[in-house]
């Protein structure tokens, strides 16, 4: 279980805003995203997405054990057979980070930014062959039908997540909820 005081959504949003500003200053100075200008923003967005969309998940590598984690049928069969499955950002993470930075530059409120992340940060578990096929077709662009274009569908696999003595969180299939005590009221300035 994630530590309640570590990486709370409000603090992550505050830090993402700083990382976005630094990234943009680095680009203005002639540096590139591939050189590292965007890396802090990517990392913070990943942490924020996990907190908002997968409450109770203490590390992305434990996604396969989270209630309602999205699996392709082949990945679910592989997982149940004890084989390796791979985590895929349904919206490629670099492209999503750039969109998130655009939201910050546009001046969205913290509440609206959190809503943006909840709507767009989605993860799925795939087989290696599915991941390779997906990345061959579209590795870096956000498209609403990115998985479908590669012939992949994902569904939640509802199972109990191991907990450290607490109740197992329930996650709606669309991953929309208030996580870690996160509520819109926290974003009033």
21 assigned to some structural domain: yes
The structural domain count of the chain equals 1
Judge whether 136 lies within some domain: yes
Q: How far is CA 136 from the centre of its chain?
A: 21
Q: Is residue 66 part of a domain?
A: yes
Residues of the chain with pLDDT under 70: 1-5, 159-189
pLDDT at 64: 94
What integer pLDDT is reported at residue 76 of this predicted model? Answer: 96
Integer Cα distance of 51 and 9 in angstroms: 7
* Residue 178 within a domain: no
**Residue 153: which of 93, 97, 78, 73 has the closest Cα?**
73
**DSSP code per residue over the chain:** ---TTSS-HHHHHHHHHHHHHHHHHHHHTT--IIIIITHHHHHHHHHHHHHHHSTT--SGGGGGGSTTEEEEHHHHHHHHTT---EEEESS-HHHHHHHHHHHHHTT--HHHHHHHHHHH--EEEE-HHHHHHHHHH-SS---TTHHHHTT--EEEE--PPP-SSSPPPP--TT--S--TT--GGGG--
Q: Name the residue range of residue 121's domain.
A: 9-158
- For the stretch 158-186, pLDDT in tens is 765 454 444 434 433 333 333 333 333 33
State the distance between the two ends of the chain, measured CA to CA, in whole angstroms: 29
Q: Which long-range contacts (CB under 8 A, 24 or more apart) does 102-107 make?
A: 104/16, 104/17, 104/20, 104/21, 105/20, 105/24
- The mean pLDDT value of the chain amounts to 86
Query: Rounded to 5 degrees, what angle do the CA atoms 150, 98, 6 make?
Result: 100
Kindly state whether residue 183 falls inside one of the protein's structural domains.
Answer: no
- Domain for residue 171, yes or no? no
26 within domain boundaries: yes
Establish if 163 belongs to a structural domain. no
Closest CA to 107 of 34, 8, 9, 189: 189
């Amino acid at each position: 279980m994630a530590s309640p005081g570590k990486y709370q959504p409000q603090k992550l949003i505050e830090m993402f805003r700083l990382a976005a500003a630094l990234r943009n200053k680095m680009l203005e100075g002639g540096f590139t995203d591939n050189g590292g200008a965007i890396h802090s923003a990517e990392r913070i967005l990943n942490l924020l997405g996990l907190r908002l969309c997968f409450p109770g998940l203490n590390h992305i590598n434990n996604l396969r054990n989270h209630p309602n984690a999205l699996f392709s049928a082949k990945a679910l069969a592989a997982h149940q057979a004890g084989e390796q499955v791979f985590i895929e950002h349904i919206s490629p993470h670099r492209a999503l980070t750039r969109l998130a930075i655009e939201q910050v530059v546009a001046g969205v409120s913290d509440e609206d930014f959190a809503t943006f992340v909840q709507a767009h940060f989605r993860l799925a578990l795939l087989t290696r062959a599915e991941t390779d096929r997906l990345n061959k077709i579209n590795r870096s662009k956000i498209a609403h039908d990115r998985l479908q274009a590669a012939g992949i569908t994902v569904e939640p696999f509802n199972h109990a997540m191991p907990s450290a003595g607490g109740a197992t969180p329930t996650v709606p299939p669309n991953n929309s909820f208030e996580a870690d005590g996160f509520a819109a009221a926290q974003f009033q300035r």
